Amino acid sequence: MQSLDIPCLLLAGGMGTRLAEETTLKPKPMVEIGERPILWHIMKNLSVWGVREYVIALGYKGDEVKRFFLDYQRSLGSVSIDFSTGDVVSRDKGLETWLLHLVETGLTTQTGGRIKRAAPWIGGRTFLATYGDGLANVDLAKLIAFHRGHGKLATVTAVRPPARFGGLEFVGDRVAQFLEKPQTGEGWINGGYFVLEPGVIDFISDDNSVWEREPLEAIAAAGELMAFRHEGFFQPMDTIRDRKLLQDLWASEKAPWMNWI
C-alpha cells in the first residue's frame, strides 16, 4: 500500500450513552473488540497506509486512554525497570511507529470544539479526522488523492448506512433467503474519515460547536465540501448489538478492517 505522510485527528472524548453498559467505567473508544479497544483497531488499520502521527482529542475518562497507551507501549517488548529511580525504559523499538499526542479537549466540549482545541497539534497541515467509535475499510490513498484533486477545504467520506435488521426475500409466503445485510442499498450518510485543510478551523466558533452541524453546513454552503463515496465496509459502534456484530467479525478472523495481518 501507498505510504501517506498525513496526521490523523481522532475524536475520542464522547460519553457513549447508548453503550452505557460498557461506558460507565471506560470511554467509548476504549470498549474492546477482541482484546483491544476499538480505537486500537482504527489506528492499526490506518497505520497500514502509513499514517504514523495521531492527535487524540480526549474528554470523558481521558485518563483511561492515556493509561492504555502507556501500558501498551511498555508491553510491546523488553523493559528495564530501575526501582531506585522509578525509571521504566522500553528496550525494543519499532514494534509500533506511532507518534501520539493525547490532548485534553474538555469534558463537555462538542465535536467541532474538540477539533478546534486540537488544531494547534496539527500545525497548519492537511489532516485526516475521524471518530473513535467506528470501523471501515476505506482506501485512504484514493480518498486523499480525491481530496488533493479537487482543491477544496474539506472531503467527507460518504457511506451506505448499515442495515439494522436482516433482509427477507420471498417466494409467495415462503422465505427464500434471509440476508444479514452489511449495508442498505439506498442513501448516503456521513461515515467520518474526513480530509481537511487548516482553513476549516475558521468555521468552528467555540467549544459548543457541533462539527456535523454549523461548521459542515457552512463549509458546504461555501462550496468547499466534497464527498468521497465509499461502497465498502462501514460499521459504527453505537449499540451493544453493533459491538456484538464487530466482535463476531473479529472472531471469524475475516474482519474487513483487519488489513495488517
pLDDT of 177 strictly over 60: no
- List the alpha helices (DSSP H) in the chain: 20-23, 38-47, 62-75, 111-122, 140-150, 214-221, 240-251
Average pLDDT over residues 46-59: 96
pLDDT of residue 170 exceeding 70, the answer is no
Strand partners for 111: none
The pLDDT of residue 181: 55
pLDDT reported for residue 183: 59
Name 124's Cβ contacts closer than 8 Å, sequence gap at least 6: 198
d(CA 114, CA 253): 34
Closest-CA residue to 22 (of 242, 172, 220) = 242
- Residue 77: pLDDT above 90? no
Handedness of CA 46, 52, 53, 56 (dihedral sign): positive
Q: Tens of pLDDT along 126-139?
A: 999 999 999 999 99
The model's pTM is 0.88
* CA distances for 233 relative to 2, 10, 42, 199, angstroms: 20, 19, 13, 30
What local confidence, expressed as pLDDT, does residue 88 receive?
76
Average pLDDT, the chain: 88
Percent of the chain with pLDDT over 90: 69
* Cβ neighbour number for residue 260 with a 10 Å cutoff: 10
Q: Cα(31)–Cα(25) distance, rounded to whole angstroms? A: 10
Q: How far apart are CA 195 and CA 248, in angstroms?
A: 30
What is Dmax (Cα atoms) for the chain?
78
Question: How many other CB atoms are there within 10 angstroms of residue 5's CB atom?
Answer: 10
Look at residue 40 and tell me whether its pLDDT is greater than 70.
yes
Secondary structure (3-state) at 9: strand
Residue ranges of domains in the chain, CATH in brackets: 8-154+193-217+235-251 (3.90.550.10)
Distance of CA 33 to the CA centre of its chain: 14
* 220-259 tens-digit pLDDT: 999 999 999 999 999 999 889 999 999 999 999 999 999 9
- For 186-231, list the strands marked E by DSSP: 189-190, 194-196, 225-230
Phi first, then psi: what are they for 221, rounded to 5°? -65, -30
Distance of CA 64 to the CA centre of its chain: 17
pLDDT for residue 218 is more than 60: yes
Question: What's the mean pLDDT in 69-79?
Answer: 85
